[in-house]
Amino acid sequence: MTQLTTIEASFLEAEDADRHVSMAIGAVAVIDGPLPGRDELMSALSERLGAVPRLTQLVHKHALEVAAPEWIDDANFDITHHLRWAAVPRPGDDPALFRTVADIMERRLDRDHPLWECWVIEGLPEARWAILMKIHHCIADGIAAMHMLANIFDSGAGTTFATEIRAAKEEPSPKATSSQLSLNPLSWAGRLWRTSQTAVSIVTQTTRGATQFTANLLTPAAGSSLHGSVANMRRYSAARVSLKDVKTISQVFGVTLNDVALAAITDSFRAVLMHRGEKPQRNSLRTLVPVSVRPADAMDRTDIRVSAMLPYLPVEQRDPVKRLRLVHARLNTLKESGERQAASTFVKLSSYVPFMLSAWIIRLLARLPQRSVVTLATNVPGPRQRLQLLGRPVEMLLPVPPIAMHLRTVVSMLSYADELAFGITADYDATPDVDELARGIELGVARLLARALAHRRPATKRIKA
């Protein structure tokens, strides 16, 4: 039996602390072509999903939580408990699909069975249908879940994933090469001195980052309608933009792809706040930005390996390009401050705290009305090439994040082939304008692209002259 880590178990504890919350993450694949026969589809999905060990295991919790929960094999595993069918109401358009996705995702997974479901959704127009994969967050983070989802498709584990869209990644640890090894004592002393200096630098940076990260968590953001308690019902919407356009913007302005995506999200939140009659302020939108610390050789492992940053996204800035540059500058400042290293250290150290105490702290924090973080924006690298399922092309992939901890609106980004998708989950009552938020993201990218093309055009003319 394998124990859940503290961070994995925390998603179960957060769910237990708030009856309005479901901590399942999801992904929707819209597929072009006739729906296969039920038996053919059941057979294919059973074979491909049954090959993932974690999907045949239960979470076993100890009495009084004297130890962390454990994964145990489900002796009565029956995949038909997990393969479900649904149909969207007419006309079967995107809003109807999104309403169905929200309905499915807002319901908690049954802990008497392995914590996942796979929904086949019928009723889409033009001979299309969809698959919704729903997995509890305690099983996997976004990257691991995407690799699990890849098992459904015809390419399976051979699917290749993008890497440049990630929010940030850990710096590789320096390793000695054979050319650096020497029997000379002076060489040893030099290497020992350099290593000690590096260690001191890392400790100093991590300590400084820990101080800043803690201060950010304790400092309330400006009050707004974006933040507050949530109910049971959810809304879902999505935006899709060209990855080529995002790359053009990043190249022209010298920023990362993730900077562009976050700037577009910032643009949309600014518009939503103003439409609601609220003034966007510098401290209105502190955002939890998860950072993967998953090494390349662990991409297919079903676990959670994340750190985090807590930037204020600049909703106060009117100009799109200045806003983009501010996003870039603020993220760079946090990367250099050691904040993400500190968050990663907090996650690692949590494993050394007795689980009974950890569980109590997590439940307490989940019940308290935290006011420091307003939203979450996570970025998952998706498949680089177009996928197929039983020979039918996958038209689009959309991420579906959960909401909790007084975050009424959460955004997840997923790259797929030549596009970048934004999935937005929101509280039903507090966010009736979730579709406007999605359209605002698309408009934010369009604004930046127009400025990028205008910025590049004069240089092109000078070259021709």
Whole-angstrom CA distances from 315 to 155, 222, 340, 432 are: 41, 12, 22, 20
Nearest to 59, CA basis, from 138, 118, 6:
138
Would you call 81 a catalytic residue per the annotation?
Answer: no
The single residue of 60, 81, 82, 137 carrying the catalytic annotation is: 137
- Alpha carbons 357 and 412: distance in angstroms, whole number: 31
Nearest to 338, CA basis, from 209, 192, 188:
209
- Alpha carbons 149 and 104: distance in angstroms, whole number: 17
Contacts of 432 (CB under 8 A, 6+ apart): 235
Bridging pattern class, strands 116-124 and 83-87 = parallel
Torsion of CA 42, 48, 52, 55, to 10 degrees: -10
132 class by beta-carbon count within 10 Å (0-12 exposed, 13-18 middle, 19+ buried): buried
- Alpha carbons 167 and 169: distance in angstroms, whole number: 7
Contacts of 156 (CB under 8 A, 6+ apart): 48, 150
DSSP states along 411-424: EEEEEETTEEEEEE
**Tell me, what DSSP letter sits at residue 213?**
H
In this structure, the number of other CB atoms found within 10 A of the CB of residue 283 comes to 14
Helix or strand (DSSP H, E) at 291? strand 287-292
Nearest to 145, CA basis, from 372, 400, 338, 334:
400
Active site residues: 137
